[in-house]
Amino acid sequence: MSRYRRARVPGATYFFTVNLLNRRSDLLVRHIDLLRDTVRATLMRHPFRIDAWVVLPDHMHCVWTLPAGDADFALRWKVIKFGFAKRLPKTEVLTATQHARGERGIWQRRYWEHLIQDERDYRHHVDYVHLNPRKHGLVDRVADWPYSSFHRAVRAGVYTGDWCGDDGTGGCVVGC
């Protein structure tokens, strides 16, 4: 069995991709209020800063900054994934392995994480998060996707409301 090693730097900023096991599901947006409540509860017990977040039907991307001296993003993901899953009705079919491990069969076991290296890398990943609904063809304009921190970033003056709009203009860094 391979031993996957993650970069753990206290107080660092990370990009994450977390997927549902069933990539054809709309579970995350169908239960968006439950997901939001679960993230809020996790923030109360295990603080971190949400720099960017987008929730799509079957996966989510986010950029987090952990508190100084803290590198335990794995605990936060465990709490979020478990807290969300335990409050959903049990409708999924489990494999024998999932059943033996006490899993719900909702999430992919692993997730992708990337340690942000510098300001350019940060900007690229935050833009990627916000552009993702358009990339997947869910909307024509980034501003039209409701499950994104893009709207907060517009209010803060980070983006204009038409960033990566219909014609692909508006200062998009990652290529609309």
Catalytic residue set: 147
Q: How far apart are CA 163 and CA 141, in angstroms?
A: 8
Q: How far apart are CA 28 and CA 84, in angstroms?
A: 10
Helix (H) or strand (E) holding 94: none
3-state secondary structure of 80: helix
Q: How far apart are CA 159 and CA 155, in angstroms?
A: 8
